[in-house]
Amino acid sequence: MPVRKVVSRRISPGAYQTLALVTVVAVIGLVLTGAAVRLTGSGLGCPKWPTCSTGHIVAPSRFHPAVEFANRVLTGTVSLAIALAALGAFVRAPRRRDLCWLGSGLALGLVGEAWLGGVMVQHRLQPGFVMAHFLLSMTILLDAVVLHHRASLLDGVPVAPVAPPTVVRLGRLVPPLVLATIVAGTVVTGAGPHSGANSSDGKVAARWHLDVHRVTQVHGALAMLTLATIAATWWLLRSRGAPHEAVHRLQQLAEAASAQVAIGYTQYFSGVPPLLVAFHVLGAATVWALAVRFSLYLGSGAGLEAPVRAPTAARPAPAAA
């Protein structure tokens, strides 16, 4: 009789958890390269979509088209990571519906981001489209962080909060405050000096006619309110004897948020240099990811599984003397 050999194509929970983490890092990297396109004035380096320009599928050998086209190529690389995370949810053993939905959300978000990027180029970097493009990337990052968190939970084990209800509610305020600060920051960007287009080529994008000083004040006030909420949550966690992991995650968030505020004030008083703006964009994505990660742990940290380790071989019993 012929022997039927069944080859398993399933992904283990530990491997999928690692894949989800790689996706989070890849999305943050994509946000940073998108900022590099804007800050180098390369946003219209490739004025056509999906090609670079008329008669050129790839970018010609000039700086601005090369930067813009490199970002498009990197988008393809990140697309591969997201596609693997989306497909991996369906071949993970055991398959879980929540991971399948979150993985599918990543794929849909990437499609929307690519489409919105093309619309943004067609409308010559209008601030509203640039703002929507960045906020959609924050939504994709949110999905990736939630996916990684859910992939870290034990299969079939109920989750439970790791802190008292008061602390959990306060911790859940942090991500909305961070998001409000980010939205205000995009408004500042839409009215600020970095249009994303190369003025030397005569391609100057429109700007919002807002008082940059006033909108920056709103942005800064939201950032300080977020820091105050993080500090209050820190005090409650320490006084209520919260788990070490919760305090550790909040410490990471507090350090990233403090550095982000310091960079923000430094760039404002130093004339908004592009390099500091790039660090500020990276900080925004990092703080957003850490805020969501901390809030998720407060509400369901008791269901987190232990790190996956390779099984160790049993040691033989010592021989009797």
Q: In a structure prediction context, what are the per-residue pLDDT tens digits for the chain, which is 321 residues long?
A: 444 443 356 889 999 999 999 999 999 988 888 877 777 766 565 666 556 655 555 555 666 666 666 777 777 778 888 999 999 999 999 999 999 999 999 999 988 988 888 888 788 778 888 899 999 999 999 999 999 999 999 888 888 888 888 888 999 999 999 999 999 999 998 887 765 555 445 555 677 888 889 999 999 999 999 999 999 999 988 887 778 888 999 999 999 999 999 999 999 899 888 888 889 999 999 999 999 999 999 988 777 754 444 344 444 444 443
CA dist., res. 294 & res. 256, Å (int): 13
Computed from CA positions of residues 59, 61, 64, 69, in that sequence, does the dihedral angle turn out positive or negative? positive
CA dist., res. 90 & res. 100, Å (int): 6
- DSSP one-letter code for 200: G
Bridge partners (DSSP) listed for residue 11: 92
- Looking at residue 2, what is its pLDDT? 45
CA dist., res. 236 & res. 246, Å (int): 11
Output the CA angle 44-50-55, nearest 5 degrees: 80
Residue 291 to residues 18, 41, 131, 179, 283, Cα–Cα distance (Å): 20, 31, 21, 10, 12
Residue labelled with tokens 């703006």: 277
CA dist., res. 283 & res. 146, Å (int): 19
pTM of the entire predicted model: 0.84
- Looking at residue 52, what is its pLDDT? 65
